[in-house]
Amino acid sequence: MRPNWPEPAPADLDACNRLLRAGSKSFYAASLLLPRQTRGPATALYAFCRLADDAIDEGPGDAATIDALRERIAAAYAGRPQDHAADRAFSATVRRFALPEAVPLALIEGFAWDAQARRYETFEELCDYAARVAGSVGVMMATVMDRRSADVLARAADLGVAMQLTNIARDIGEDARKGRLYLPLAWLRESGIDPEAFLAKPEFTPALGGLVAKLLTEAERLYARADSGIGQLPAGCRAGIRAARLIYAEIGHEVVRAGCDSVSRRAVVSKSRKVGLLARSLLASPPDATRLALPPLPANAWLVAAVTTLHPARRSARIVDVPWWNLSGRTRTVIEMFERLGRIERSAMRGP
């Protein structure tokens, strides 16, 4: 973070808060529980990306819409944001934290791929998509937490991709009924599943269950990698990020308990189970230097490089922790940041 760079104007942040209070009440309430140094930047990013997301959802979602969003980002980075509170707050935040323009542009590219209903031939191509819509969010969050080392950024991006893979595994049937298919086409064909036939009549089969299990195995691998980076985050943010990780991984565990059938049912983590996971998130994991030092996922490497090339890694002033009883709200904030910014939930916003 540039220590002398102006923060967003209080009036603009107030307007962002009003926007979120009206359209994202749970995020607004939870954001009040974030550490002060993170609350404002997270709100600014969320508000701007919320408007961008709405522009896709509520508009034609065509090339002109995407181009307009890119121009909006370019104007914000040039210090000439459009005359909207969210644009001004976003502009001040990305410049204050030296967030490379490539990172929010990656998110917009992911929006474009969703608008095009793009499909993915290989798992590597699916990861390219997940990196844009969710790995980018991990990098944004780590950056506004003032963490810029390549290893921490790589693990934050791992977490974003893992959460995206989990949600794809959970929403196979829901997506198919809307004409969307995210499973790698090569996996489907290798398992004897015709993609078009499945979309025409989404049904669970043991072969499909095997692919869901395979996808969740990949997600678990990335969750394990992400664990090593959580302990490197500011003290006030660790438990909330860890809780989000545990709750999202539990979604995958619920899918597995249902025989990997995510066509006829949608996995939900019970409130009682969430309470247990929140308690577990208070326990710090043993440091794992080996996993921390792993190179970025290939799909995420360019996002990590965008930040580390722009400025060297450093650690800033300690972000003060908040009481453990605020953990539930802070976890909700983290989850909504990944869900809404990363477009993990592709229908009405719901809790996991």
Over residues 169-185, the pLDDT tens digits come to 999 999 999 999 999 99
Domain boundaries, the chain: 10-341
> Taking phi first (over 0 means left), then psi (-120 to 50 degrees means alpha), and beta for anything else, what does residue 117 get?
left
β-sheet bridge partners, residue 315: 147
Asked whether the predicted pLDDT for residue 20 surpasses 90, the reply is no
| pTM > 0.85: yes or no | no
Nearest to 223 by CA among 306, 170, 288, 275: 288
Task: Select the highest-mean-pLDDT range: 138-152, 197-211, 298-312.
Answer: 197-211
More confident residue, 6 or 27: 6
Class of domain 10-341: mainly alpha
Give the SS3 label for residue 147. strand
How far is CA 249 from its chain centroid?
14
Asked whether the predicted pLDDT for residue 69 surpasses 80, the reply is yes
How far is CA 29 from its chain centroid?
19
Give the SS3 label for residue 28. helix
Reported as a single tens digit per residue, the pLDDT across 245-262 is 888 899 999 999 999 999
Give the SS3 label for residue 315. strand
What is the arithmetic mean of pLDDT over 99-113? Answer: 93
**In this structure, what DSSP letter does residue 311 have?**
S
Biggest CA–CA distance in the chain, Å, is 59
Average pLDDT across the chain, whole number: 83
How far is CA 141 from its chain centroid?
9
